Chains A and B, each alone.
Chain A
Amino acid sequence: MPASHTAEHASHDLRHHFADMEQQKETATLGMWLFLVTEVMFFGGMFCAYLLYRLDYYTAWVAGSERMNIYLGTTNTAVLICSSLTMVLAVHFAKLGNRKATAIFLILTIVLGLGFLGIKAVEYHEHWVNHEVPGPNFHFEAPKPGASLQYSPKNVEIFFSLYFAMTGLHAIHMIIGVGLLTWLLVRNARGDFSPYYNSPVEMTGLYWHFVDVVWIYLFPLLYLIRHK
């Protein structure tokens, strides 16, 4: 590509208050990582609550966890990991300036993200039908006397409260992510991205991976507690 073309790209994409593209890129990256730090703290508050109550009411945690649909949960984990792969490929092709491949992988990521949300909705519906949603209609059988696992159904309601709070907040992040990906798709079609300017794709990628990582922690903590 001729040098003049490079310069033209750079001047067009450079915001007025930066000295050069490198500074602009570094700034965006640092800002995004800082935002992810705030997200860690945001989810951290709930992980803290989870830890405290799990230590206090371990048996109720086991009883609650056994009601999770482990097949759907595992499928969803796989879906999300695949979406991380398609996301990273979208970033890769955006950097190469391949608009068509970028669009394909963005669409795939959106489809996988929506798939995750759909499966999650099925799970929520199961919990709803089984009276496992906290509130006046929550109902959980007390353990029979002499059963190997003794717990208080009230404590299980705390487990489900945290389950819905944590996965619900995660789902909201997924919805925002799908929104961002759609916005990227429009900008990509408009031809906004080039090898010189592709920060939005990369930053959305960072966000998407972060949301995936949250799920990687949520899945074992909520689904995989089993009675020894």
Chain B
Amino acid sequence: MASAAITQDEKTNYLNADYGIKSWLLTTDHKRIALLYLISITMFFFLGGFFAMLIRLELLTPAGDLVTSDTYNKLFTMHGIVMVFLFLIPAVPTVLGNFLVPMMIGAKDLAFPKLNLASWYVYMLGGGWVLYAIITGGVDTGWTFYTPYSTTFSNTNVVAAAVGIFIAGFSSIFTGINFIVTIHRMRAPGLTWRRLPLFIWSNYATSVIMVLGTPVLAITLLLVAAERLFHLGIFNAQLGGDPLLFQHLFWFYSHPAVYIMILPGMGVISEVVTCFSRKRVFGYDFVALASICIAVLGFLVWAHHMFVAGISVYAAMVFSLLTFFVAIPSAVKVFNWIATMYQGSISFETPMLYAFGFIGLFTMGGMTGLFLGSLGIDVHVHDTYFVVAHFHYVMVGGMVMAYMCGLHFWWPKITGKMYPEGWAKLSALLTFVGFNLTFFPQFILGYMGMPRRYHAYPPEFQVLNVLSTAGASVLAVGYVLPMIYFVWSLRYGQDAGPNPWRAAGLEWMTSSPPPTSNFETTPVVTWEAYNYDEIDKQQEVPVAS
């Protein structure tokens, strides 16, 4: 009877439980919705990457010769909008989070499965509006939609883009609500808060930001759209309206949004570093609380985007100080990952390589953030390539690295297949080298005074720009390669088995790919998180006998 149940379990999983397009588009299974998100987010990632390549091609030569300045404005705007709102913000929570949050806490599904599916449709609807804005000529305001340019002067399709982002925001809100409620109410028996995987803690903190921040962006963009459509005059300086108000409201969300992007990535890194160091994470409580601290402090630093916009010196000093505070929990995480590796049995599989890349690049991105948080330096480098390099180190070097790291780490769980390790290591290396070649020169360019958002530049900046464009090409290979071998592995990859990494965590205790209900019986947790000592001891015994 028991063996029959096991073979049944091995054959039927969430991928082959049902077939047909309808079984995917109407699914309420969090794992299938994660895959829907994976496909659509990958599409938007390559669309945003396409705009990035055009930008880098234009900047290959000092003269503005490939595209007009108008087109260039649209290119960097569409690159920003697509990457920020349709890739960076949803990527880790909706793909990895959707798949893993219920599994890691031993639940059958998220608390609101229909809302989860709705969030994907809402995301696609928002993405569709953004695509419509692109097709009807694009938007040229920059992804920040600063007023009064966006409300009064731009003659591009600002409303369509704003509506798209407004709608996509609700997908974030739905996901955030779903995660918070799931983590509060759906944990398996015995899975106390302090036994939760750190990926859960970081997704919890992320969800709090999503729930508190996203509505503010929504109302801000709604007001911009209403100002264009119905001639309301809320930000209109001709009536005495305050453009700074827009910037405050915009950054109240859009700065914490940076932590929406990076926090789930940090969760991924915590899982991977412990697994490939075969050690319990150093200072579990501190890493968990650091996520919450980042979420809270993240709401208190938004005006550091506005140091040169005309806020008072006193306010600027307060926001500068608070900005420095955010470095503390971020540094706690970095130091704890390194302390976890100390005296661990480190192995160098692909996810770990990506994690190394993340730690190094995130540290550089974070440290240069402190430069920018200092009032004096910010005046010098504001709106230069220094800023561009800084946030790409955090977003691409940090978040995208973590996303790739997580995809490789959980790919065997998601699909039941192993990717080719050699190619994957090559892609991790290409990404790291290509990334640094692309963005390190931009630090120097910015410090030398090259402003962002111009399609032409003085000839003395060309060498560094050529390096940057060359790096972007390497980076592109580093992203296309995994695409190819992931698809390849679906058919030709080796079977992964339930736990190829001998990793801790409930998600590894069920078959790969998991059955639709995740677990045959609801697990009862009697152990602490990351009990790698016990796991390795248990595995040694059968080998000895």
A161 contacts B232, C-beta separation under 8 Å: yes
Do A37 and B111 contact each other (CB < 8 Å), given the known contacts A134-B231, A158-B241, A165-B226?
no
What are 25 pairs between A and B in contact, CB < 8 Å? A26-B185, A27-B185, A27-B186, A30-B181, A31-B112, A31-B115, A31-B178, A31-B181, A34-B176, A37-B211, A44-B219, A45-B216, A45-B249, A45-B252, A46-B219, A48-B245, A48-B249, A53-B241, A135-B230, A154-B238, A157-B233, A158-B236, A158-B241, A161-B239, A162-B234
State whether the Cβ of A35 lies closer than 8 Å to any Cβ in chain B: yes
Do A42 and B211 contact each other (CB < 8 Å), given the known contacts A52-B242, A158-B233?
no
B248: chain A residues at CB < 8 Å are 48
A43: chain B residues at CB < 8 Å are 219
Query: Which of A30, A38, A52 lies in contact with B185, CB distance below 8 A?
Result: A30
Do A57 and B186 contact each other (CB < 8 Å), given the known contacts A42-B215, A52-B245?
no
B234: chain A residues at CB < 8 Å are 49, 158, 161-162, 165
A153 to chain B, nearest CB (A): 9
State whether the Cβ of B180 lies closer than 8 Å to any Cβ in chain A: yes
State whether the Cβ of A155 lies closer than 8 Å to any Cβ in chain B: yes
A93 to chain B, nearest CB (A): 26
Q: How far is the CA of A162 from the CA of B245 in the complex (A)?
A: 13
- Residue of A with least CB distance to B110: A17
Q: How far is the CA of A43 from the CA of B216 in the complex (A)?
A: 8
Do A49 and B249 contact each other (CB < 8 Å), given the known contacts A30-B185, A157-B233?
yes
A206 to chain B, nearest CB (A): 14
B175 to chain A, nearest CB (A): 12
Q: How far is the CA of A158 from the CA of B241 in the complex (A)?
A: 7
B156 to chain A, nearest CB (A): 21
State whether the Cβ of A191 lies closer than 8 Å to any Cβ in chain B: no
0/1 string, B35-50, CB within 8 A of A gives 1: 0000000000000000
Within 72-126 of B, Cβ neighbours of A (below 8 Å) are at: 107-109, 111-113, 115
B177: chain A residues at CB < 8 Å are 31, 34-35, 38
Within 12-60 of A, Cβ neighbours of B (below 8 Å) are at: 15-17, 19, 23, 26-27, 30-31, 34-35, 37-39, 41-46, 48-49, 52-53, 56-57
State whether the Cβ of A219 lies closer than 8 Å to any Cβ in chain B: no
Query: Which of B107, B213, B239 lies in contact with A155, CB distance below 8 A?
Result: B239
B235 to chain A, nearest CB (A): 9
Query: Which of B186, B212, B517 lies in contact with A37, CB distance below 8 A?
Result: B212
B242 contacts A46, C-beta separation under 8 Å: no
State whether the Cβ of A145 lies closer than 8 Å to any Cβ in chain B: no
Q: Other than A154-B239, A158-B234, give 18 A-B pairs with Cβ distance below 8 A.
A: A16-B108, A31-B115, A31-B181, A35-B177, A38-B173, A38-B211, A41-B213, A42-B215, A42-B219, A44-B215, A45-B215, A45-B249, A49-B249, A53-B241, A135-B231, A154-B240, A161-B232, A162-B234
State whether the Cβ of B223 lies closer than 8 Å to any Cβ in chain A: yes
Query: Which of B107, B184, B216, B252 lies in contact with A42, CB distance below 8 A?
Result: B216
- Residue pairs across A and B with CB atoms within 8 Å: the count is 116
B89 to chain A, nearest CB (A): 15
Q: How far is the CA of A122 from the CA of B301 in the complex (A)?
A: 44
Q: How far is the CA of A135 from the CA of B238 in the complex (A)?
A: 12
B108: chain A residues at CB < 8 Å are 16-17
B231 contacts A136, C-beta separation under 8 Å: yes
A154: chain B residues at CB < 8 Å are 238-240
B113: chain A residues at CB < 8 Å are 15, 17
Q: How far is the CA of A154 from the CA of B239 in the complex (A)?
A: 5
0/1 string, A164-191, CB within 8 A of B gives 1: 1100010000000000000000000000
B218 contacts A165, C-beta separation under 8 Å: no
- Residue of A with least CB distance to B172: A38
Q: Which residues from chain B sit less than 8 Å from chain A, CB to CB?
A: 107-109, 111-113, 115, 173, 176-178, 180-181, 184-186, 211-216, 218-220, 222-223, 226-227, 230-234, 236, 238-242, 245, 248-249, 252, 517, 522
A155: chain B residues at CB < 8 Å are 239-240
Q: How far is the CA of A134 from the CA of B233 in the complex (A)?
A: 7
State whether the Cβ of A75 lies closer than 8 Å to any Cβ in chain B: no
State whether the Cβ of A6 lies closer than 8 Å to any Cβ in chain B: no
Closest 5 A/B residue pairs (Cβ)? A135-B231, A42-B215, A45-B219, A17-B108, A161-B232
State whether the Cβ of A152 lies closer than 8 Å to any Cβ in chain B: yes
0/1 string, A123-137, CB within 8 A of B gives 1: 000000000001110
Q: How far is the CA of A161 from the CA of B51 in the complex (A)?
A: 37
B109: chain A residues at CB < 8 Å are 16-17
A31 contacts B233, C-beta separation under 8 Å: no
Q: How far is the CA of A35 from the CA of B181 in the complex (A)?
A: 11
Q: How far is the CA of A23 from the CA of B211 in the complex (A)?
A: 22
Within 131-151 of A, Cβ neighbours of B (below 8 Å) are at: 134-136
Query: Which of A15, A23, A44, A165 lies in contact with B216, CB distance below 8 A?
Result: A44
- Residue of A with least CB distance to B102: A17
B176: chain A residues at CB < 8 Å are 34
Of A15, A17, A44, A46, which is in contact with the most chain B CB atoms at under 10 Å from its CB? A17
B240 contacts A158, C-beta separation under 8 Å: yes
- Residue of B with least CB distance to A52: B245
A44: chain B residues at CB < 8 Å are 215-216, 219
0/1 string, A56-80, CB within 8 A of B gives 1: 1100000000000000000000000
Q: How far is the CA of A31 from the CA of B111 in the complex (A)?
A: 9
B218: chain A residues at CB < 8 Å are 42
A56 contacts B240, C-beta separation under 8 Å: yes
B223 contacts A57, C-beta separation under 8 Å: no
A26: chain B residues at CB < 8 Å are 185
B233: chain A residues at CB < 8 Å are 134, 157-158, 161
B181 contacts A157, C-beta separation under 8 Å: no
Q: How far is the CA of A105 from the CA of B107 in the complex (A)?
A: 38
Q: How far is the CA of A42 from the CA of B222 in the complex (A)?
A: 10
A39 contacts B185, C-beta separation under 8 Å: no
Query: Which of B186, B212, B238, B239 lies in contact with A41, CB distance below 8 A?
Result: B212
Q: How far is the CA of A35 from the CA of B216 in the complex (A)?
A: 14
- Residue of B with least CB distance to A30: B181
A165 contacts B223, C-beta separation under 8 Å: yes
B369 to chain A, nearest CB (A): 25
B220: chain A residues at CB < 8 Å are 45
Q: How far is the CA of A73 from the CA of B178 in the complex (A)?
A: 38
B213: chain A residues at CB < 8 Å are 41
B226: chain A residues at CB < 8 Å are 165
A35: chain B residues at CB < 8 Å are 173, 177
A152: chain B residues at CB < 8 Å are 240
